[in-house]
Chains A and B, each alone.
Chain A
């Protein structure tokens, strides 16, 4: 059940109605409903893996309680290590077993066919595992108290809007909200619907249309070259942003319908002025997770310049691997790590115009996406090589759409990017404009009609980050 399907719409309406009527009387009732709704949502995909999810969630609840129950630092460390081991073992088995077997066998020239096993990746495992680990580590670091009520904790771990693809929440934000009764707030709910509307526009109109061009080029890179491939890479740059930020907007919007505030996961990443700035704006919940729980744990910038650079590279490589069991993700992570190291090492105070910095950073990020999207390293290099074979006579990749549609898509793209940028830099101005009901409703209807007129509805394409 994904957000852009009829089944989900029906599910959402039913849960929303029950939440604010029969189950609205107390915090306990609200949590019970959300817990069952979360498990139903997850179980819709796979009942088998629901049990795995419940087992790991219950396990994390008790690990945190055990850590909290003792002041003995050795014991606390032992419980934390066991908790991390169990979480990483489950994640590692389902996500990385075959990858490591294949890489190991390749290294020693062994046939990996006999050792590889057929493993289905439980959906959302990377997200919920990281959220649970953050909670246990926070309890260990005494940043938060272990939750004593198992129902509250399980509601936190299974909150359906963010269960499959984040944002990866911290307990001090999300868990705290499940401790008190949520009261219906009209403004909050309307804001949630606005976010959902924007999310659907990003996903169904922009991401899914760009995906048509991207899929063609990356599936048959031999058929395209030069400008065609540059267009395809540019399209993927926008596809992945609109797909994931669209998902996050919908998730945050749905959460608001239930009176819950999720953290912001994106902040105009394509307007970043350098790579460090980009990582403060892209997938914020994951990059801050890696900073807080990995980079700092391995020493951060406290052990000298050289070690800082190594730590940075390691953090980016592991964050790349988090995305999937493929060397392409590691290369993508290392590429960003290298850019971060270079930008730190060669910090010079030349006054470059802001827009040039933004364009330069955008181009660097765009180049990196080739590794992220390509199915293997050879294909990534093939695409890079073919990108520079120029032929300005025809652009077969653009034949995917009629010219009218291309124009509409470009206009929509700039309107969405512009609106988000203005919201960040001139929020008061935007708010004053949106006070006019005429403007507000014109925008709402404009978005809705754009979704109907330009949206991709056939076979409801999945969100890219669901595979992670």
Chain B
């Protein structure tokens, strides 16, 4: 009985509707403050996206949206806008939430989701801040493995929001930077020794890994749930759903383990080996540098042009 009023207070704070700016602002120390760029794109630059790329830092570094837009628009009569919404680290739940967020103010025609050799089974660390209270609760249906910590982190964010409202904490507001495109241009080329070492280590590990993936394992219920949610929302909004395979250097695993599942939902794009094998295209063993991004983006243009 004693703890009930405290529990009620916890629930009230958890369900506080936090201003969207505050939620994105709360993530300002993460991923070079891209959350605030996204806020700007979603809420300030309405109807400025036709094609969107959603994924991790591999997408962020690997897809040159401005170049793709420029080249594609020279070939078509009605210009389109392309945006790279890659955000550091993995987690299908955040992919889904970003899609929902972007759909609030943009009539997206095509969405491209990054896929890896295997589906990630974890909740994205930014999910509890970008998702609303309802979305966090409903993530339990999707077997969110981090439901408790996500709930707690969302509570902490809302608590800070309330404290700021009652002048019990400082919530400095920083001006939102204008950033038309989301691509992260890095010209640095990886050290070839470290790339060779990577191949040496991963060849054995990944070959074994690929043959042992059990797609019915409980861990995958989470990503399956969000993939289905993505599919549903795309159908509802008449959006063409695409998947892009973003392998690592060496492309040891030629196709993702979930190839069939992706193909049932939409189009799966797999780039030729030549792009993944060239050493000068990589910033490190997992991320393209600007040369790799340009090559990969040029390949994508051939696949996605209207």
Contact = CB atoms under 8 A, between A and B. Distances in A.
Contact of A405 (B6, B148, B159, B168): B168
Given A6-B149, A404-B167, A454-B168, 15 more contacts: A6-B148, A401-B170, A402-B167, A402-B170, A403-B167, A404-B168, A405-B168, A448-B6, A449-B9, A452-B6, A452-B10, A452-B13, A452-B159, A457-B159, A458-B156
A6 B152 CA distance: 9
Q: 7 smallest A-B Cβ distances: which pairs?
A: A404-B167, A402-B167, A405-B168, A448-B6, A457-B156, A404-B168, A6-B152
8 contacts: A6-B148, A6-B152, A401-B170, A402-B170, A449-B6, A449-B9, A452-B10, A452-B159
Contacts of A6: 148-149, 152
Interface string A451-465: 011100110000000
Nearest to B9: A452
B166 A404 contact: yes
Contact of B2 (A403, A404, A444): A444
B163 interface: yes
A449 B12 CA distance: 13
A445 interface: yes
Nearest to B3: A448
A445 B166 contact: no
Contacts of B166: 404
A395 interface: no
Nearest to B164: A402
Contact of B169 (A402, A403, A444, A445): A402
B175 interface: no
Interface string B1-27: 010011001100100000000000000
A381 interface: no
A141 B51 CA distance: 81
Contacts of A403: 167
A453 B161 CA distance: 11
B10 to A, nearest CB: 8
Nearest to A445: B5
Contacts of B159: 452, 457
A408 interface: yes
Nearest to B5: A445
B156 A453 contact: no
B6 A453 contact: no
Interface in A409-468: 441, 444-445, 448-449, 452-454, 457-458
Contacts of B167: 402-405
Interface of B: 2, 5-6, 9-10, 13, 148-149, 152, 156, 159, 163, 166-170
Interface string A370-395: 00000000000000000000000000
B23 to A, nearest CB: 16
Contacts of B6: 445, 448-449, 452
B142 to A, nearest CB: 21
A468 B148 CA distance: 32
B278 to A, nearest CB: 39
A263 to B, nearest CB: 28
A321 to B, nearest CB: 38
B5 A408 contact: no
Nearest to B13: A452
Contacts of A458: 156
Nearest to B155: A457
Contacts of B13: 452
A445 B6 CA distance: 8
B221 to A, nearest CB: 23
Nearest to B152: A6
Contacts of B169: 401-402, 405
Nearest to A404: B167
B100 to A, nearest CB: 27
B81 to A, nearest CB: 37
A436 to B, nearest CB: 16
Contacts of A452: 6, 9-10, 13, 159
A452 B166 CA distance: 13
Contacts of A448: 6
A140 to B, nearest CB: 48
B5 A402 contact: no
Contacts of B156: 457-458
Nearest to A448: B6
A453 B148 contact: no
A391 to B, nearest CB: 23
Contacts of A445: 5-6
A445 B1 CA distance: 12
A402 B166 CA distance: 10
B35 to A, nearest CB: 17
B147 to A, nearest CB: 12
Contact of A453 (B2, B163, B170): B163
Nearest to B166: A404
Nearest to A193: B2
B243 to A, nearest CB: 35
A408 B152 contact: no
A424 B170 CA distance: 37
A408 B168 contact: yes
Nearest to B170: A402
B282 to A, nearest CB: 32
A441 B170 CA distance: 31
B187 to A, nearest CB: 34
Nearest to A449: B9
A455 B91 CA distance: 30
A409 to B, nearest CB: 10
A452 B2 CA distance: 16
Nearest to A455: B159
A408 B166 CA distance: 12
A453 B156 CA distance: 11
A453 B152 contact: no
Contacts of A454: 168
A448 to B, nearest CB: 5
Contacts of B152: 6
Nearest to B148: A6
A402 B169 CA distance: 6
Nearest to A408: B168
Contacts of B148: 6
A445 B9 CA distance: 11
A458 B157 CA distance: 10
Contacts of B10: 452
Interface centre among A403, A405, A449 (most CB of B within 10 A): A405
Nearest to A452: B9
A446 to B, nearest CB: 12
Interface string A1-35: 00000100000000000000000000000000000
A273 B9 CA distance: 43
Contacts of A457: 156, 159
A452 B5 CA distance: 12
A445 B167 CA distance: 21
Contacts of B163: 453
